[in-house]
Amino acid sequence: MIKKIIDKVFSNVRFFNSFRDFIHHDFIKEKAIIKRELNISKRTLDFGCGSGQYSVLFKKGCYFGADGDKKCIEFVRKEYTKQTFVLTENNRKLQFKDGFFDQILAMDFFHHISPIDIDFILNEMKRLLSKNGKLFIIDHPPKQKKMLARLLMAFDRGQYAKDPEELLGYLLVHFKLVKKFPMKTGPYVDYVLILSKN
């Protein structure tokens, strides 16, 4: 019952965006790491872009956001008119040619992905990434120390939180690990994974 209420409330993208900005302190730490680790002038796919908060970091024409939530895509197309956003469909390839992107972001994305769907998504990411491309991931592990983080995880719409080692078990079939480190953001202790194509 509570989950249904949360889903209903968070289906309002503007409210969901404001709530996440508050919890993550406007994503200041995430944005700083993205600017440090990625090139804002390279062609970048934000896989699971949600409310598009990272689009503002990239030069016009360099950022492409993709998400399966139609309301999110409608919201970001109005909010961030200088960037490109596409609606994805389950287990359908994106309409970009092989190797089109230099970088792929997956921010708080993989805890929404079931083990059934993860191989298709990773194959698609690998297909879309250029030869020397980079995959950049920040996500929540299932175990959190702070009570607020544990509460937020319990009611998160993403029910497939993975430890970095578990996620790497899938990733290392397709990619090579370059960097791995923890980061604190709001009440969470998340992890950062940076990978390249094998």
For the chain, domain boundaries: 2-197
| Share of residues in the chain with pLDDT > 70 (%) | 90
Give Cα 88 to chain centroid, integer Å: 14
4 membership: H or E segment, kind and range: helix 2-10
Q: Which superfamily does CATH assign the domain made up of 2-197 to?
A: Vaccinia Virus protein VP39 (3.40.50.150)
Mean pLDDT of 92-118: 95
- CA 142/CA 127 separation, integer angstroms: 29
Q: Is the pLDDT of residue 5 over 80?
A: no
* Ranges 48-52, 80-84, 177-181, most confident: 177-181
> Residue 104 and residue 64: Cα distance in Å, rounded?
9
| Residue 161 binned pLDDT confidence (cut-offs 50, 70, 90) | very high
Instruction: Identify the bridge partners of residue 63 per DSSP, sorted by sequence position.
Output: 44
> What is the pLDDT at residue 1?
59
Range scoring the smallest mean pLDDT among 73-87, 106-120, 148-162: 148-162
For residue range 20-72, list pLDDT tens digits in order: 767 777 889 999 999 999 999 999 999 999 999 999 999 999 999 999 999 99
Residue with the bigger pLDDT between 3 and 48: it is 48
